[in-house]
Structure 1
Amino acid sequence: MKNYISIVLLMIFLVGCKEKNAASAEARETAVSGTATILVDETIFPVIEDVAILFENQYTRTKINLVSKSETEILNMIQKDKGQIAIMAKTLDSTEISYYNKVQKVYPRITEFGSDAVAFIANTNRVDSTLVLNDVLHLLKGGSSAKIKSLVFDNPNSSTVSTLKTMAGIKDLPKQNVFAMNSSKEVVKYVTENEGAIGILGINWLLQPTTDLASYASKIKVLAVENVKINANNTFIKPNQTNIADGSYPVTRKLYLLNFQGTSGLGMGFASYLAGHQGQRIILKSGLIPKRFPTRQIAVRNKVE
Structure 2
Amino acid sequence: MNRIKQTPLLFIIIGVLFLSSCHKRYTRTDTTTSGIAQIAVDESFAPIIEAGINVFESLNSEAAIIPVYTSEQNVYDLLMEDSIRLVIGTRLLTGREQEIIEKRKQRIRSQKIAIDGIALITHKENKDTLLTINDIRNIMSGEIKSWKQINPDSPLDSLAVIFDTPNSSMVRYIQDSLCDKRPFGKNVKALSAGSSSPDITRVSSHDKVIGYVASHPNALGFVGVNWIANPVDTTNLSFIDKVNIVSVSSATKATPNNSYKPLPYQLALEVAHRESPREFPTGGYPLIRDIYIIITDASGGLPSGFFNFIAGDRGQRIILKSGLLPANRPIRLVHITED
Fold agreement, TM-score > 0.5: yes
Structure 1 segment 1-305 matched on structure 2, within 5 A: 28-102=29-103, 104-147=104-147, 149-171=159-181, 173-174=183-184, 176-182=186-192, 183-207=205-229, 217-228=240-251, 234-247=257-270, 248-293=284-329
Q: 1:172 to 1:260 in 2, by over 3 A?
A: farther
The whole-number CA distance in structure 1 between the counterparts of 2:301 and 2:49 is: 18
The superposition leaves residues 57-92 of structure 1 with CA deviations (integer Å, 9 ceiling, x where unpaired) of 112221100111110111122222222111112222
Q: Deviation string for 1:9-40 (max 9, x for gaps)? A: xxxxxxxx9xx89x969961222221100111
Give distance in 1, aligned partners of 2:106 and 2:45: 26
Distance in 2 separating the partners of 1:175 and 1:233: 28
User: For structure 1, which segment, 146-155 or 280-289, has the greater mean C-alpha deviation from structure 2 after superposition?
Assistant: 146-155
Q: Which moved more, 1:74-83 or 1:59-68?
A: 74-83
CA distance in 1, matches of 2:63, 2:50: 14
Structure 1 pair 193–201 and aligned structure 2 pair: CA distance change class (3 A): same
Q: Which 10-residue stretch deviates more, 138-147 or 247-256?
A: 138-147
Residues 34 and 62 of structure 1 are in contact (CA less than 8 Å); yes or no, is this contact kept in structure 2?
yes
Determine what percentage of the aligned residue pairs are the same residue.
30
CA contact (8 A) 1:97 1:107 kept: no
Deviations 1:197-230 (A, max 9, x none): 1100101111167xxxxxx954410000112399
Structure 1 residue 107 displacement after superposition: 3.4
Contact 1:280 / 1:294 at 8 angstroms: preserved in 2? no
Q: What is the CA–CA distance in structure 2 between the aligned matches of 1:63 and 1:49, rounded to whole Å?
A: 12
Distance 2:77 2:181 in 1: 18
- Whichever residue aligns with residue 43 of structure 1, its letter is S
- The alpha-carbon deviation at position 246 of structure 1 amounts to 1.7
Q: Is the 8 A contact 1:284 1:293 kept in 2?
A: no
How many correspondences in the alignment? 269
Measured in 2, the distance between the counterparts of 1:190 and 1:69 equals: 20
Query: 2-side partners of 1:197 and 1:170: how far apart?
Result: 23
CA distance in 1, matches of 2:229, 2:299: 35
Question: AA paired with 2:58?
Answer: N
Pair 181,173 (structure 1): closer, same or farther in 2 beyond 3 Å: farther
- TM-score, normalised to structure 2, is 0.71
Partner of 2:3: none
Q: How far has the Cα of 1:244 moved from its partner?
A: 0.8
Mapped contact 1:227–1:237 kept (Cα < 8 A): no
CA distance in 1, matches of 2:322, 2:171: 23
State the distance in 1 between where 2:221 and 2:74 align.
Answer: 21
CA deviation vs aligned residue, 1:247-278 (integer Å, no higher than 9, x gap): 11111111111102144322221111111111
Q: Secondary structure at the match of 1:199?
A: strand
